[in-house]
Amino acid sequence: MRTVNFHSITNADTFKLQLLSWSQQFDDVVWLDSNNHKDKYSNYDAVLAVDAFTTIRTDYFDAFERLKEYQSITNDWIFGYLTYDLKNTTEQLESNNFDGLGFPDLYFFQPKKLFLIKDNCVEIQYLKMVDDEIEDDLRSIRCIVTSSAVEKSQNLDAIKIKLRIHKDDYFEKLNRMLAHIHRGDIYEANFCQEFYAEGSEINPLETFKTLNDISKPPFASFLKFESNYMLSASPERYIQKTGDTVISQPIKGTAKRSDNEIEDLKLAQDLSKDPKERSENIMIVDLVRNDLSQTATKGSVEVKELCKVYSFLQVHQMISTIQSKVKPETHPVDILKTTFPMGSMTGAPKISAMKIIEALEETKRGLYSGAVGYFTPHGDFDFNVIIRSILYNSSKRYISYSVGGAITAKSDPLLEYEECLIKAKAMREALEG
C-alpha cells in the first residue's frame, strides 16, 4: 500500500532539476521527462522512481515469463528496462557480439518513493514503510540550490571516442546488407554501429543534463542501478497501454535541421514527401500492425497517424501511430512479449532481419534499442525506445553510444553513413563538449 500526497510546484523546471539531483543518493533511479512536449498520449510531464524495495534482474532465458510473475505478484508500480537481447527468449536467436558494458538483460524494481509531475503539481506516492519521510524529503529537495544541482566535473580526462566499425568497413557491411535485400532475404533492416570510450569517466548527471539540453526530446530518461547508467535523449515511444487501448509510435525517416527558417521548413517538407523515407516508415507500420494483432481484439488494429513529420531540436523525424484494443484478461507482459523488439529497430521480416543484424554488427546491442519505462498497479504501461542514448558502466569505466538507420533497396551507403553522424552529434557533443 502507498501513501499518496499532492503538492503544488511554483516552478516545475526548477523542481525537476532539484528532484533529479536529490535522487542521486539512491542506488536505483529511473527518471522520465517529456520536456514539456505535451504529447496527447502522455499521462505525466515527468516521473521519478527511486529506492528499490524489491527487484528482478535476469538474463534473457524465460525473461518475459519471469517479468510476468514479478509484475503479477508485486501488483504495484515497477520501473526498469528491457534489452534488445530479449529477442533470444522469444525466438531461436543469439547475441554473441562484443559487450563492453555487461548490463543484465532485464531489470525492474518496485520503488519505495515515487514522484509523478503534471503541470504545477507533484503527486507523491511512498510505500507505507517510508511515508513518514515525505515531508523531510520535500524539504531536502526544495533546499537544493539549482545553480549547483548539477556540479561540474573536475579533473576528468578528455574522452576519446573510438569507432567499433570504421568507415570503409561500414560501407562493406552495408553492401552485404543490400545484397541480402536484393536477394529477397529481407525488405529492410536497421543496421547499427557503436561509438565507445575505454578507461574513461563521466559525471552521469551532468552529462545527462547536457544531452537533454541539446535535444529536449519527449522521452528523455535517466537510469541508474549500481554502477550502470543510461542517459537517454530518445524521441521515440515504443509502446503504451492505457486501459484496453495500446499504441505504438515507430520512427522511421530522419532529416537534419537548419538555422534558416525557410530552409528548415523545406527540409521537413522534403522529408514528408521522400519516397525512400516513407517506404521505410510504411514497412515498419505494417510490421507493428502485425505484432499488435497478436493480442488485439478482432478488427481493432488501426493506423491513427501515418508518416507525420515532427521537428526536434536536432532533427526532423517521421512518426506513425498504430493503435489496437486488447481484452481485459490480456496480461500486459504478453503485449510486450509479442511486439518486442520494436520493429523500428529490427526490420522486416523481423526474424530474418535480426539474424542478419547479428551477423553484420560488431557490438551486442544490450540496452541500446531496448526500452525503459514502467508498469502501473493497474497493468498499464509506457515504454520508450533507447536511441540517442549514452550507456555507461562506471566500474568498467566504459562509455558507449550507438546509432543506426533503416537500410532498404534504395539506400545510398554514403547518405546512410552521414545520417548516422547526424544522429550521433548530440551524444558526441555531450561527451566531448
Residue 200 lies inside a defined structural domain of this protein:
yes
Of 188, 194, 236, 358, catalytic? 236
Q: Which set of grid coordinates corresponds to residue 420? A: 548516422
Average pLDDT over residues 243-261: 94
- Kindly tell me if the per-residue pLDDT of 153 is higher than 60: no
- Closest CA relative to residue 430, chosen from 386, 389, 369, 384: 389
Q: Cβ(430)–Cβ(206) under 8 Å?
A: no
- pLDDT category of residue 147 using cuts at 50, 70 and 90: low
CATH at 81: 3.60.120.10
- Kindly tell me if the per-residue pLDDT of 5 is higher than 90: yes
Residue type, 215: S
Helix (H) or strand (E) holding 284: helix 275-293
Which burial class, exposed, middle or buried, applies to 196 when counting CB atoms under 10 A from its CB (0-12, 13-18, 19+)?
Answer: buried
- Determine whether 236 is an active site residue: yes
- Determine whether 241 is an active site residue: no
pLDDT at 328: 87
pLDDT at 149: 41
- Cα–Cα distance between 220 and 238 in angstroms, integer? 13
Residue 288 lies inside a defined structural domain of this protein:
no
pLDDT at 157: 73
Average pLDDT over residues 248-255: 93
Name the domain count of the chain. 1
- Predicted structure pTM score: 0.95
Of 16, 112, 241, 252, catalytic? 252
- Cα–Cα distance between 97 and 202 in angstroms, integer? 25
Average pLDDT over residues 148-152: 44
Average pLDDT over residues 95-121: 97
pLDDT at 163: 96
Residue 261 lies inside a defined structural domain of this protein:
no
3-class DSSP state of 128: helix
- pLDDT category of residue 243 using cuts at 50, 70 and 90: very high
* Average pLDDT of the chain to the nearest whole number: 94
Q: Which set of grid coordinates corresponds to residue 64? A: 518475459
- Residue by residue, DSSP assigns 167-235 as HHHHHHHHHHHHHHHHHTS-SEEEEEEEEEEES----HHHHHHHHHHHH--TEEEEEEETTEEEEEEE-
pLDDT at 64: 98
pLDDT at 38: 81
Domain that holds residue 105: 2-144+157-241+331-432
pLDDT at 99: 98
Residue 319 lies inside a defined structural domain of this protein:
no
Residue 213 lies inside a defined structural domain of this protein:
yes
Q: Which set of grid coordinates corresponds to residue 379? A: 497493468
- pLDDT category of residue 1 using cuts at 50, 70 and 90: confident
pLDDT at 314: 83
Residue 254 lies inside a defined structural domain of this protein:
no
pLDDT at 197: 97
Q: Which of 141-155, 276-290, 344-358 has the lowest mean pLDDT?
A: 141-155
> In the chain, pLDDT over 70 holds for what percent of residues?
97
Residue 184 lies inside a defined structural domain of this protein:
yes
- Kindly tell me if the per-residue pLDDT of 338 is higher than 60: yes
> In the chain, pLDDT over 90 holds for what percent of residues?
92
pLDDT at 156: 60
- pLDDT category of residue 155 using cuts at 50, 70 and 90: very low
pLDDT tens-place string over residues 170-188: 999 999 999 999 999 999 9
- pLDDT category of residue 152 using cuts at 50, 70 and 90: very low
pLDDT tens-place string over residues 380-418: 999 999 999 999 999 999 999 999 999 999 999 999 999
Q: Which of 150-154, 248-252, 370-374 has the lowest mean pLDDT?
A: 150-154
Residue 270 lies inside a defined structural domain of this protein:
no
